[in-house]
Structure 1
């Protein structure tokens, strides 16, 4: 069982549990410790009695495995909103998400009228995907997978069947609007990378980089984007970089650290503090600033959580970036994924809190932007424009300071209406921006407005 730390909005990956470490210590326990252990064993006997009673007397014969999984799930969900039990299928899905790559066809799908509908084709930065090579297009419907009708499958089951080992074949029957006969296609699964970084040029002199999630591909994607945009714009003409972390729910802790050090030459990025020495550590920048000191603006909102907050907090505390938008979600805890054995799922367990370089915990408070920018929200969306935040979650870890709930998370679909993006571009162009009654211009990296 290995360890791979992450911090998603609801989850992250971490260390193997040393299940037997308490056994030797029991020999050295004092009387009070023995009494505590005895109480624990009595409670476990109580659980065993309840388990046997349910198995014996429930109106229908229950599934023993499901009973145990439900008991574990109840135990974890009673701790905090981010601790939970993942069955084997959920654990596999989580691993795919954090790796950011899988053997598949390169399509995004949904279920429609009992068939699988192609929502869109995924883009690979290196080569064509199997779906694009086969001529599959958006709105195509899949009726069979390897001759098995999809109407008998759930969406999750259909996705599982379409994924598989790289270089293995799969047959699909495609129904296309405007064509009378179904189309039979045979595809060869390839390694599909889920793009977590998107980039473009704002105006003609600003690098815009949006980070969607923090998976194993994120830092490399960020580095490629910086290199590509700097080359296209020209290092001398480049005014600065906008890093958009809005509605990014988080991801891998290691990626949050390496993304941060892409903009930092030195200094602490984050510290974590837990009950064990293993969970208490400091992470510092070593990689060097790839932007060569260019000004950086970080965009956040109520949907920016966890790993996103680590990056925003590190760049803000080091005065390396100006943070623009609305207060972030406020998830200041680290989870550890603890595999429970082959085919048995895993525990997602909160094991530490994290702190920004200045020693602040953002738990249930969030990152406060240097410049708050509220968007104009259409009337029909106003009820859904705010994210409740960590402090609104039942059973959340309490904060040492004032807890905050709710922050605007709406991002206009048309960039022309995006007031936070416009504020960022104005700052990088040296234009005056009002911030809580003050005006200032950004004339050096990391200028901060309060």
Structure 2
């Protein structure tokens, strides 16, 4: 007869695809006070007791599937902000999103203090056209409070059939009262690469790293070369407010501009899990100068590209410190039960510098000039990854121990680096874009030498804690 703990453990293992009933029988046979895992099994007994008590005594009959899914979600959420369980539907949605097409409003969001926070609106989507801005807080959806919902539940409510309206109640820094914005849902097609000619400069903006990013980048560069011709002075690669995406695409984009050397190093729990991606010969930019633009909305894959090009001195990085998401999430399918997104490694730049909770510092710090309505809220800028509750530290425990003798000397610097993230505001009008205009002048040789020395950006304190990673909807 299967004990209660056996049942719960079997359910858990079956859902995660790790084992079946045979393994559980083995677990039962080895369950004794002398077993090195006996404490684990006692904790599973506790879980089984609580699970059965809820099923039998809760005021309303609960859904067993919901209980198990929430238990798994709680376990993963306790690890770090980026590990989570995906139901079969959410898993299918994620697969669609990586192809660059999905239904919704067109905003990247996260959860902060019980409300949804806008990381950035996606270009040319209903949200962007309606005037949604980075750092807007969404408190109500169709007059229903968001408080009490998970991020996934809030995102689910924002999605819906194309051409149906939804009203978002917004709290915006610099405005005393909340206000409503009505948005009509549409089919979102993310164009990962946008490009244009800026006189003798090729401007390329990467909005995300999906399955089409590398191919579209190569095509855009070919088109720009033909349009500008021999007067081409260089490239601006704009990664501002790019929340990241697929690792292989970040590697491919970096490889487009590098002839040799490493691109990114990933370190897992064990040394044998360490992997290094190497560049292959061939520079799509033909050695022309490159400026990479980053800000507090540049995260993950964006930071891999910026870090690789900076370390190899292939590009000059201009802007403000990036978000600081330097961890690898592996999608582990669970058959018919969906999948889990599990943090399995940390990213390191070619110079072996951790990105996690530190971000990429630009070579030249250029603060974006803010409009009047946002200047009063300047001190509320996003702290980036370091502001997420439960975020991973930048180094593994072994590395921290090995560097203990240097800790005191580096304490001030590490404290500064922990404050990843910066302003994520980018104006729509190119002439008002302080960072872009600086980059264009830099490539044309119009910036005095003394102005090209990097200076540390001010990082005001921010006590708000973010609880989830950016999620598109």
Structure 1-normalised TM-score? Answer: 0.70
Partner of 1:64: 64
Partner of 1:238: 232
Distance 2:34 2:246 in 1: 39
Kindly indicate whether residue 210 of structure 2 is the aligned counterpart of residue 215 of structure 1: yes
Partner of 1:149: none
Q: 1:351 to 1:33 in 2, by over 3 A?
A: farther
Measured after TM superposition, the shift of residue 63 of structure 1 is: 0.5
Distance 2:233 2:123 in 1: 34
Q: 1:121 to 1:380 in 2, by over 3 A?
A: closer
Kindly indicate which of the two structures has a greater share of residues assigned to strand.
1
Partner of 2:424: 409
Partner of 1:158: 161
Distance 1:79 1:160 in 2: 38
Q: Which runs of 5+ in 2 are unaligned?
A: 1-15, 108-121, 126-155, 165-186, 396-413, 456-473
Q: 1:32 to 1:216 in 2, by over 3 A?
A: farther
Kindly indicate whether residue 99 of structure 2 is the aligned counterpart of residue 84 of structure 1: no
Q: Is the 8 A contact 2:383 2:419 kept in 1?
A: no
Q: Which runs of 5+ in 1 are unaligned?
A: 1-16, 111-118, 123-152, 162-189, 441-447
Q: Is the 8 A contact 1:262 1:287 kept in 2?
A: no
Alpha-carbon deviations, 1:249-288, whole Å to 9, x = none? Answer: 0000000000000000111000100024674200011152
Q: 1:32 to 1:240 in 2, by over 3 A?
A: farther
Kindly indicate whether residue 250 of structure 2 is the aligned counterpart of residue 256 of structure 1: yes
Measured after TM superposition, the shift of residue 404 of structure 1 is: 1.4
Partner of 1:293: 287
Distance 2:190 2:420 in 1: 32
Q: 1:431 to 1:405 in 2, by over 3 A?
A: same
Q: Is the 8 A contact 2:295 2:421 kept in 1?
A: no
Alpha-carbon deviations, 1:381-429, whole Å to 9, x = none? Answer: 2327722211111111123443114411111221101111011101111
Measured after TM superposition, the shift of residue 155 of structure 1 is: 5.6
Partner of 1:194: 190
Q: 1:92 to 1:246 in 2, by over 3 A?
A: same
| Structure 1 residue matching 2:54: 3-state secondary structure | helix
Distance 1:423 1:120 in 2: 22
Partner of 1:45: 45
Q: 1:433 to 1:309 in 2, by over 3 A?
A: farther
Distance 1:246 1:273 in 2: 26
Distance 1:370 1:32 in 2: 59
Kindly indicate whether residue 422 of structure 2 is the aligned counterpart of residue 422 of structure 1: no
Measured after TM superposition, the shift of residue 160 of structure 1 is: 12
Greater shift after overlay, 275-284 or 83-92?
Answer: 275-284
Distance 2:350 2:442 in 1: 25
| Structure 2 residue matching 1:35: 3-state secondary structure | coil
CA RMSD across the alignment: 3.3
Partner of 1:393: 388
Q: Is the 8 A contact 2:256 2:283 kept in 1?
A: yes
Alpha-carbon deviations, 1:76-102, whole Å to 9, x = none? Answer: 111111111122222111111112247
Structure 2-normalised TM-score? Answer: 0.67
Partner of 1:267: 261
Distance 1:283 1:109 in 2: 32
Measured after TM superposition, the shift of residue 340 of structure 1 is: 1.6
Q: Is the 8 A contact 1:215 1:251 kept in 2?
A: yes
Measured after TM superposition, the shift of residue 337 of structure 1 is: 1.1
Partner of 1:432: 447
Q: 1:69 to 1:215 in 2, by over 3 A?
A: same
Alpha-carbon deviations, 1:342-381, whole Å to 9, x = none? Answer: 2x22111110001000000021111000010012212322
Measured after TM superposition, the shift of residue 108 of structure 1 is: 6.6
Q: 1:34 to 1:417 in 2, by over 3 A?
A: farther
Distance 2:316 2:63 in 1: 55
Partner of 1:319: 313
Kindly indicate which of the two structures has a greater share of residues assigned to helix.
2
Kindly indicate whether residue 340 of structure 2 is the aligned counterpart of residue 347 of structure 1: yes
Alpha-carbon deviations, 1:138-167, whole Å to 9, x = none? Answer: xxxxxxxxxxxxxxx966342599xxxxxx
Distance 1:78 1:262 in 2: 38
Partner of 1:247: 241
Q: Is the 8 A contact 1:279 1:351 kept in 2?
A: no
Partner of 2:145: none
Q: 1:198 to 1:43 in 2, by over 3 A?
A: same
Q: 1:241 to 1:33 in 2, by over 3 A?
A: farther
Q: Is the 8 A contact 2:31 2:38 kept in 1?
A: no
Q: 1:109 to 1:349 in 2, by over 3 A?
A: closer
Aligned residues: 348
Kindly indicate whether residue 358 of structure 2 is the aligned counterpart of residue 365 of structure 1: yes
Alpha-carbon deviations, 1:78-135, whole Å to 9, x = none? Answer: 1111111122222111111112247x9xx9789xxxxxxxx9998xxxxxxxxxxxxx
